[in-house]
Structure 1
Amino acid sequence: MTASATSVKTAAGKPPSGRAPARTALLTALRTELRRGIAPWTGLAVMLTLLVPLWSKSAQWQGSWGETQNQLHTATALLGGPLVAAATCWQGGREHRRRTAELLLSVPRSRLAQVMTAATPILLWAAAGYLLALGVVFAATAPYTGAGGPSLSVVVADLGSLLSIGFVGFVAGRLVRWRLIAPVLAAVLYVLLGAPNYVESDARFLSPAEQYAFEGSVPVWWFAPVQLAWTGGIAATVLLAYAARRRLLAVVPLALAVTAGAVIAPAGENLFRADPTATRRVCSAPAPGRPQICVKAPDALVLPSASEALAGMFSRLEGVPGAPVRYVDPESDPKAGEAALAHVMRGWGITRNRLTDPQAYASNTALTLVDRDCPDGLRTSDRKVSERVHLTDDAVRTWLAGDDSPWDPDARPLVTRLTTMPDADRRAWLGHFLATLKSCEPAEVPAL
């Protein structure tokens, strides 16, 4: 083999001159940025920015995957997004503040490589902060959930929008040399992200901060890809328009973003479908003489507390002809022999699967039982007759719930009369009373 052939073979077996040192220098710079500067502090700030407000509202989301993701999604977009944008914007303006922007022209790396090297560490730390907050929140709600689970599509879409906003913020910091641009950008983004929630147009679904109805619904399978195409396409357009050697390449992600936006806005609420677990009902174990309580599967762990709160009411209705044999959640349509439970929400009546006011829950359930289905009111113009029916209903509600006093003081003698009735007479009277609940004729309501 000749010397020239040997030299050609040796050269062919080596990487092109300068490429390996450039790659090594890039990785070294990336590792340095990951360990120093504001990148690690950004991750910590994102985590605390999400956890502090979420923890203050823990009673509202613990025990519900839908409400948990709703609160996390809103906090990520409205609080985390502006924070990350401000951090990357500050990082983007670093060379301007240090008066070293001209030195970047002598660096062998391309402008796009320089941008990625400076912005990626902050975004990696921001992603880590988001994922840590997500892990804490999910771990806090998991012990209190009865069914269902978190949506990975929502997590991916939220993380994608967070990173996309960060790249846009970095470019803004490179272009604008004003020192206050970072906090101003954060404030402007907060307004721009939150304002669409107050409009009725379907265009509001283009906002990453749109408050979706996660409770009782799940995103369609293409939710995450189309959201990533929308927010990521905008970020890639801004990035390539600023840093690419061939800026016409920005047309490609721009077209992708426009296409995704044209899908999201018309779809609107159809981005979600009904959650099968939300329509499934879970009932308490049947017991002789005791009606069943049926709630949505995600609220199955609330059954013991609800059964305990309604135990007194059920015992008072035992043996009454026509008494309900089943109580269902208020979103269900009660059928014959069924009655609706009181409406309560997590944070307002339920905290970690326990009723915060069992007496109020029993009272409101009794109210739904005695509530008359008369849209046009009782068929009478006699005020005294109408008042008698009103006081009778209030007395029955008070006695069933075991309240100390009725809402109307004039009904107190009727409660006493109902309490002192012989058991057999009271059961017969209550059976007659329950039979008239579907009637709007006051003359059919038995008097006390």
Structure 2
Amino acid sequence: MTTTTGTTDTLTAATPKAAPHPLRAEAVRGFPPLAGAALMVACGAMMIATAREWQGDWAETAGQLHDGLLMALPVAAAAGCWHGGRERRRRTEELWGTAVRPPLARLLASAVPVALWTAVGYLLVLAAANVATWPYARGDHPHLILVPGDTAALMAAVLLGHVVGRIVPSLLAAPLLGVAGFAGLAAAVPEADVQPLDPASFTVHGSWPVWWQPLAMTAWTLGLALALTLAYAARRRATALLPLAAALTGAALLVQGGDATWQPDPFLRRQVCDTSTTPAICVNARYGGVLPQVTTALSGVTGRLKGVKGLPVRWADREHGPRADEAQLPILAPVGWSLVRGRLVDPHQYAYEAAAMLSDRGQCERASERVTFAVDAVQSYLAPSPGRGAFDAIEAKGDAAARAHLRASLAARAKLAGMDEERRKVWLSAYFAARATCDDEGVPSL
């Protein structure tokens, strides 16, 4: 019994452990993790620098991440190129030529970890950006439809760069490839027929790709990269025809699809309204959660309009202008101006702009001086401009004509503000009735 146990222990100790898979060895050490970290830092820095322009808006967050491919793709290609020239820099090419594994297996074992780490770096930035947007979002929902195509494009850039790094015997190949890639993507003409093939093309404002567009983009970018890889390293180069066919199919779908590959954002066509005021206040559904702030900001204006007739039915936040029975509300998009991280930056300025759009004569022909004074008086009564005092001070220092114009404006404002409530309601009702029909003669005098 003792002899058997000793023999078993000896055999167990002598059994060699299985060697780790080459992909695992490449993935956990060396350059690949550094490549992923470099891309994460580059994209993260870009997102942090522009946080005011996207944080709090799901659509802007997705668009900014996609537009970041303009920088991420050249970085990924340069990383793949640098890693592809590793054996040349180490002068171990001849040694690798004696290895049992075929060239394609060796290439993929070296390139795939870089591609995977690059994708991980990008996805971590994407996750962090969406987490940063979540506390401030006031409508809409996360947009992830672009993620598969963007991630595949980054991995394809690594594979293409890796092949270039093996072919071009120069230490400058990686930086030059990165610069050339950035210049090429930046110089791409949006109106060109091949623009749908550009994985870093800017998103169509107010639209999102149809469900099959990311699949076609994946087939185009990864198919082309795999075809080039197989043509370079496979023993049977005819195998490159299969991914090449997939790439050409994806390219044909993208080019032939044209505008049909994009569909309007349904949120942009919807309005969320507060009908407790007159006029009603409607904001775009993308920012439906901001409606209480807008209602509060306009409470002074709506309070002064109680009992006034002839008003538009509502304020509406429409990008293409108001309808016949509406007044334009100051547009909240793009974020970073009047709306930052889910909050109105300057409610007083916002109220002034809304009041100006409500009382302005819009598409009416150029008004007489009498009507101009009336418009200025109405705007000043509903919501004075935060900068009105500075403009008046400049006009007061002007020539005689400017000073006379200022005196007439101040007199008109004072007369409207000094009316008793009932008389002012009648006057404002007549003003808005004349405004609706562009009737200068119907505008009451002050």
Q: TM-score range by the shorter chain?
A: 0.7 to 0.9
CA contact (8 A) 2:195 2:201 kept: yes
2:379 & 2:260 partners in 1: Cα distance?
42
Aligned with residue 171 of structure 1, among 156, 163, 168: 163
Q: Give the structure 1 partner of residue 417 of structure 2.
A: 419
Could you say what secondary structure the match of 1:202 adopts?
coil
Write the deviation string for residues 262-293 of structure 1: whole angstroms up to 9, x where unpaired.
22123233211122233222223x43x55432
Q: Give the structure 2 partner of residue 223 of structure 1.
A: 213
Write the letter of the residue equivalent to 1:356: V
Shift of 1:143: 2.3
CA contact (8 A) 1:305 1:353 kept: no
Q: Give the structure 1 partner of residue 125 of structure 2.
A: 133
1:147 & 1:344 partners in 2: Cα distance?
12
> Structure 1 residues 336, 86: closer, same or farther in 2, change over 3 A?
closer
CA contact (8 A) 1:89 1:172 kept: yes
> Structure 1 residues 344, 152: closer, same or farther in 2, change over 3 A?
closer
CA contact (8 A) 1:86 1:185 kept: yes
CA contact (8 A) 2:227 2:243 kept: yes
**Quick check: 147-156 or 105-114, which moved more?**
147-156
CA contact (8 A) 1:277 1:298 kept: yes
Unaligned 5+ segments in structure 1 are: 1-20, 379-384
Shift of 1:400: 0.8
Instruction: Provide the aligned length of Structure 1 versus Structure 2.
Output: 413
Q: Give the structure 2 partner of residue 265 of structure 1.
A: 255
Q: Give the structure 2 partner of residue 201 of structure 1.
A: 192
Aligned with residue 316 of structure 1, among 297, 300, 304: 304
Q: Give the structure 2 partner of residue 107 of structure 1.
A: 99
Could you say what secondary structure the match of 2:187 adopts?
helix
1:337 & 1:280 partners in 2: Cα distance?
17
1:237 & 1:416 partners in 2: Cα distance?
77
1:161 aligns with 2:153: yes
Write the deviation string for residues 18-52 of structure 1: whole angstroms up to 9, x where unpaired.
xxx9xx65x53222211221111112111111111
Percent identity among equivalent residues? 40
1:66 aligns with 2:59: yes
Shift of 1:216: 3.2
Aligned with residue 43 of structure 1, among 32, 36, 52: 36
1:86 aligns with 2:78: yes
Aligned with residue 373 of structure 2, among 383, 388, 391: 391
Could you say what secondary structure the match of 1:424 adopts?
helix
CA contact (8 A) 2:139 2:286 kept: yes
Q: Give the structure 2 partner of residue 28 of structure 1.
A: 21
Q: Give the structure 1 partner of residue 202 of structure 2.
A: 211
Shift of 1:154: 0.5
1:295 aligns with 2:283: yes
Q: Give the structure 2 partner of residue 361 of structure 1.
A: 350
Write the deviation string for residues 135-164 of structure 1: whole angstroms up to 9, x where unpaired.
100111122223432333310000000000
Q: Give the structure 2 partner of residue 403 of structure 1.
A: 385
4+ long deviations beyond 4 Å:
332-337, 406-409
Could you say what secondary structure the match of 1:347 adopts?
coil
TM-score (norm 2): 0.87
Shift of 1:218: 2.6
Could you say what secondary structure the match of 1:327 adopts?
strand
2:81 & 2:311 partners in 1: Cα distance?
66
Write the letter of the residue equivalent to 2:302: F
CA contact (8 A) 1:218 1:273 kept: yes
2:429 & 2:243 partners in 1: Cα distance?
70
Q: Give the structure 2 partner of residue 95 of structure 1.
A: 87
Shift of 1:334: 4.3
Q: Give the structure 2 partner of residue 18 of structure 1.
A: none
Aligned with residue 116 of structure 1, among 89, 108, 112: 108
Unaligned 5+ segments in structure 2 are: 1-15, 396-405
1:195 & 1:179 partners in 2: Cα distance?
26
